[in-house]
Structure 1
Amino acid sequence: MTKLAVVVLNWNGWSDTNACIESLIGLENENLHIYVCDNASSDNSVRQIRAWIGLSLDRLNMLREASGRTAFELRDLFDLPSSGDTGSIPEVGGKNSLTLLQTGRNGGYAFGNNVGMRRALKDGCDYFWVINNDTEVEPDALTWLCKRMQADPEIGICGSTLVYAGQRDTSRHGADPNSGHCAAGPLHSVLSPNATIRSMPQP
């Protein structure tokens, strides 16, 4: 089964992050591993997120199990050195997991997300979904992204249509949110100066 990773970076935004985690636990996918990385927040984010998980995870797992899906395991909180090295953390198993990582410092957006992605690589994840902490996802959002990636081996990167929470008929990047399209392209093209992104309909 494909092993999926979702990386969420938090910095002084625990309320948004908690709402994001709740929507991620509601995804229809299995073998799903969520990595919440905190970049040395100064607003007690880690304590707030941990407390919310303690109050909410059982309820959210009951909803998953009621719909025939596997519950999430909390892999606990790991306080990392300032380098962000995650080598001391045991690997995840085949079940769904939620991992909290304190990155050790506020090294910026790329640094914090890279901590989560490096850990996901060590855990053997096949796909990596990096989303902002103020995002709330639809239950089938990741399923469509995986289908698109698997449909064409040339695709190296794929992104969802984003809409405003209060204006769901308005896309953040100008596309028609009802078109069922996502942006996708070969990774070598996306990373080159002459990047080519093509809009691709859902199957």
Structure 2
Amino acid sequence: MVYIVILNWQGAQDTIACLRSLFAMSGQRFRLLVCDNRSQDDSYEVIKQWVEAQAPEDRMQLSLRELSAQEASRHVVDERESCLYLIQTGANLGFAGGNNVGIRMALNQPDMEYVWLLNNDTEVAPDCLSKMVERCREDPSIGICGAKLVYAHDRGKLQGLGGCYNPWLCTTRHYEALSPSEGHYDRALVEEQIDYVIGASMLLSRPLLEQVGMLREDYFLYYEELDLCLRAKGRFRLGVSLDSVVYHKEGASTASGTSALSDYYIVRNRLKLTRRFHPLRLPIVWASLFLVWLNRLRRGEYAKARVVARIIVKGR
């Protein structure tokens, strides 16, 4: 059984579009856990009302079950029921904290084989999940499996097939970004080249979660997936299913993709991750932030420049 965890924060319409695409999937049994990070708009109620009003295909027979984070941490699913679980996390816990509420609930379930962390600003192909599970079962050493991420606004272009990490500067880039989505890619080469699976779609195995752990919550936003993949290195392989297609709107799930707050976490977490995994390279990464600061000034992004300057001075 796959437990699909979708984190919502003030993005009800994106979440509903994502759920519509999941309802249309076939070939793999799954349960849905929607975690709301105490949205300050009416997202929770909008999602609740939409689910209650739906009459999915007979095979789904979904009912709605509401839980608090505390209730979810103790809840054991009745296998005879087919529910969509709407979980109120109680606060804005960030990407890791909100997803971990769903992961904890999934780990309680004896039938859980995989947890699929899926951004709410995505829509998926009907066979997406079944193809990812198929890839993992081909190679049980895979602990984290990604998909082919395609831009929702331009379905002819890839967002990426995974990510590459430069530990000297703590910078990242998406592998094959902007390449044709219908192009031919060698799976073995992709899996050899990538350093992490992009967080918009991550299929996590039960052994990985039990042995490596959940997402680290002190990042709050950005770099959580890279941290998890670095912790898994040497114990589990990264996999990619090139037959699994996820359409990603990119940035909608944070509602802050270009804000100074978003920039703060992107820049701060470069230092946090380097301290954790490559502390001897920290002076180089710290020095590189001066270039980030100058670039923000050059572009006239003065609020972001102030944020970067504060991180440089305080180191956090």
Deviations 1:4-45 (A, max 9, x none): 111100001101001111111111034310100000001111
- Matched with 1:177 is 181
SS class of match (2:62): strand
Partner Cα separation in structure 2 for residue 199 and residue 114 of structure 1 = 22
Determine whether 1:191 maps to 2:177: no
- Taking the TM superposition and a 5 Å limit, the aligned residue runs for 1:1-203 are 3-56=1-54, 58=55, 60-61=56-57, 65=58, 70-81=59-70, 86-93=72-79, 96-124=82-110, 125-173=112-160, 174=177, 175-178=179-182, 179=184, 184=191, 190-192=229-231
Relative contact order (alpha carbons < 8 A, sep ≥ 6): 1 or 2 greater? 1
Q: How far did 1:86 drift? A: 2.1
Q: Structure 2: 5+ residue runs without aligned partners?
A: 161-176, 197-207, 213-227, 244-316
Partner Cα separation in structure 1 for residue 74 and residue 229 of structure 2 = 33
Q: How far did 1:181 drift? A: 6.5
Q: Structure 1: 5+ residue runs without aligned partners?
A: none
Q: 2:31 touches 2:83 (CA, 8 Å); kept in 1?
A: yes
Give the share of equivalent positions with the same residue, in percent: 33
Q: 1:34 touches 1:97 (CA, 8 Å); kept in 2?
A: yes
Aligned-partner residue type, residue 114 of structure 1? N
TM-score, length basis structure 1: 0.80
Cα RMSD over matched residues? 2.8
Q: Which 10-residue stretch deviates more, 185-194 or 44-53?
A: 185-194
Q: How far did 1:193 drift? A: 8.9
SS class of match (2:93): coil
Q: Which 10-residue stretch deviates more, 188-197 or 93-102?
A: 188-197
Report the CA distance shift for 1:200/1:5 in structure 2 as closer, same or farther (over 3 A): closer
Partner Cα separation in structure 1 for residue 28 and residue 82 of structure 2 = 7
Q: Which 10-residue stretch deviates more, 88-97 or 116-125?
A: 88-97
Q: How far did 1:200 drift? A: 6.4
